[in-house]
Amino acid sequence: MPTLLVAGTASHVGKSTVAAGLCRLLADRGVDVVPFKAQNMSTNARAVPRATGDGFGEIGISQYVQARAARVSPTTDHNPVLLKPQGGGESQLLLHGRVAASVAAGHYYDDHWHRAREAAATAHARLAAAHDLVVAEGAGSIAEINLHHRDLANVETPRFARETDSVAIVLVADIERGGVFASIVGTLELVPDDLRELIRGVVITKFRGDASLLDSGIEAVESRTGVPVLGVLPHDDPGLPEEDSVAVPRSGTVRGVDESDGADADDDGVLVVVPRLPHIANYTDLGPLESLPGVRVAYRALDAPLDDADAVVIPGTKNSVDDLLALHAHDFGARLAVFSGPVVGLCGGYQLLGERLTNAAVEGTGDDRVVEGLGLLPVETRFSDEKRVVETSLRLDATEGPLAGVSDVVTGYEIHQGRTRATDAVETPFAPLDGEPTAALGASRRRVVGTYLHGLFENRSVRESFINPLFEAKGSEWVGEGDAVGTAYDRAARLVSGMNVDAVVDAVGLDVAVDDADRGRRRG
C-alpha cells in the first residue's frame, strides 16, 4: 500500500502535528490509515503491545498519539527503532520495543544501524500489507547531507517503501523561525535526487496574520522549484504531546508562558509546580493537567521556591540516581518537606520520594552505594537489570492524600527499572485488578502519593479528585474541565484541513474522497 512521508526542513516544524492531523482526518473519511516513524529519539515513550504478539514494548509518544488519531491500536511497528538518551553521551537502543543495547553516539551507526534498518523495513512491510495508507513521519531535517547515507526516518523509509508500492513526500516548513522560503528552496536543493522527485508539495506552518501576504513569496518558490505550496497553516497548538528534545519544558515555562517575562499568576486559578529534573522523562504525563481551565503547570529550576505552589508533581526521570543527587545539591528536599500542599511522584518521581535508592550502579553511577531519598514516603527502591514495560489497568482506592476519594479502575502504563517496597506502615492504594494492593505499584501517606502508573492524569476521576481540593483550598470553585481533554486529535485534523488534502491523496494514488460531502465514500 502507498506511503506518505511527512518530512521537515528542520526539527520542531510541526511534522508530528501534521501527521497526526492527517491520520485523524483521513480515518474519519474512511481510510484505513496507520502511522510510522522508522527511527525516533525521545525520552517520552509509551508501553504498547509488540507487533510480534509477545508482550509489550516501547514507542515514542508521537506515534502512540498518531495511532490513536488514526483510530488504530498502537503497536511497536509504528516506531520500530527508538533511541532513549540516558546521559553521558549514551542512549538505550530499542528494536521492536525491546532494549537491544546501550550505545554511544559514535558507535550506533558503525555497530547497530544495519540491524535498525532491518527492523524498520520489517515493521513497515507489515503495516503496508495490512492497511490502505502508511503516514510516515520524518526526523529533524530531510536535508542533513552528512546523514543521508544512514538516515532511517527521512531517506531509507521512502526507499524501502518504494519496493512495495507508491511513495510521496510532503515537506513541512515553519515560518515562525523566519527564512521560510530560503529553508524550502535550500532543502529541495539538498535532498537526494531520488527523493527530490517524490516531493509533491510543501506545507507552511505556524503563520500568524493574513496569509495573502505570502502570495508573492509562494509564487516565487513554486516558479523556482516546480513544487506547489499545498497550504499555509495558522499558528495553533491543538494540544498534542511533543517528544523532541527541543520541546522539553525549560525552567520558567508555565504552559507556554515564561515566568521570567513577568507573567502574572491567576488569583482564581491554581499552580502546579514541576521540578525541571536534569534527566526529565515522560513529562507528557502533565499534559492532561495543562489543558484544564484554571490550571497552570510551571516547570521550575531545582533551586526555585515553592511558596506560590498549590501542588507539586515530580515527574519521571531517565536517571533517578543522578536526578536525586541534583535535588539534594539544591536543597530541594528541605523546601519540599515544609511545603504544605499535595505532592505527587510519577514513576521515577515516586522513587525519589522514598527513603533510599539501592544498587545504584544499575542506574549508571558506577558504584553500589545507597543514595538517600527525599524521605516523604516510607518506601525504598532497589534497581536491577530487569525492565518492566507493560500497559495496565489498576484498581485505585485512595482514602488519604492527593487522590483521596478515588475509587475507580484507572489505566496507564509502566516503564521502569527497580522494584519498590514499603519500609513502614503506608497506604497502598493501587492494586492489580486480580490482586492485592502493593507498594510495588504506589504508596500514599497524608499529603503525598507516588505511583509507577504513567498516564495517571489521563483518568478523569484522578484529575477531578486532584484538582478540586486545590481550588477549595483557595476558597474558590473549579468550573470543571468540560470537553477540554480528549479533543486534540480533532483539533489537529481541523488544522491540517486548511491544506490541499486532495492533492496529498492524489499524490500517493489513494482512491478516496476527502471532502465532507463525500466523507467515508470511495471514489469510483
The DSSP-derived string for 99-138 is: EEEEEEHHHHHHHTHHHHHHHHHHHHHHHHHHSSEEEEE-
Using CA atoms, how far apart are residues 64 and 349, in angstroms rounded to an integer?
A: 23
With cell 481540593, the residue in question is 469
Domain(s) labelled CATH 3.40.50.880 in the chain stretch across 249-473
Domain(s) labelled CATH 3.40.50.300 in the chain stretch across 3-40+61-73+107-240+489-518
Residue 281: Cβ within 10 Å count: 27
Strand 253-254, strand 295-300: pairing = antiparallel
Distance of CA 124 to the CA centre of its chain: 21
Distance of CA 508 to the CA centre of its chain: 28
Note the CATH architecture for domain 3-40+61-73+107-240+489-518.
3-Layer(aba) Sandwich (3.40)
What H or E segment, with its residue span, contains residue 85?
strand 81-87
The average pLDDT across 331-338 equals: 95
β-strand partners of 414:
390
Taking Cα atoms as reference points, which of 404, 407, 410 lies closest to residue 448? 404
Using CA atoms, how far apart are residues 447 and 404, in angstroms rounded to an integer?
A: 10
pLDDT in tens, 133-189: 999 999 999 999 998 989 999 999 999 988 878 899 999 999 998 899 999 999 999
28 contacts: CB under 8 Å, gap ≥ 6: 493, 519, 520
Residue 516 confidence (pLDDT) above 60: no
Residues with catalytic function: 347, 454
Residue range 249-473, CATH number:
3.40.50.880
Residue 363 confidence (pLDDT) above 70: no
The grid cell for 223 is: 516558479
Residue 254 confidence (pLDDT) above 70: no
pLDDT band at 508 (very low <50, low <70, confident <90, very high): confident
- 270-275, strands of its sheet edge to edge: 257-258, 253-254, 295-300, 270-275, 311-314, 343-346, 448-451, 442-445
Look over the chain and give the mean of its residue pLDDT values, rounded to a whole number.
88
Residue 334: strand, helix, or coil: helix
pLDDT in tens, 456-507: 999 999 999 999 999 999 888 887 776 544 478 899 999 999 899 988 888 8
pTM of the model: 0.81
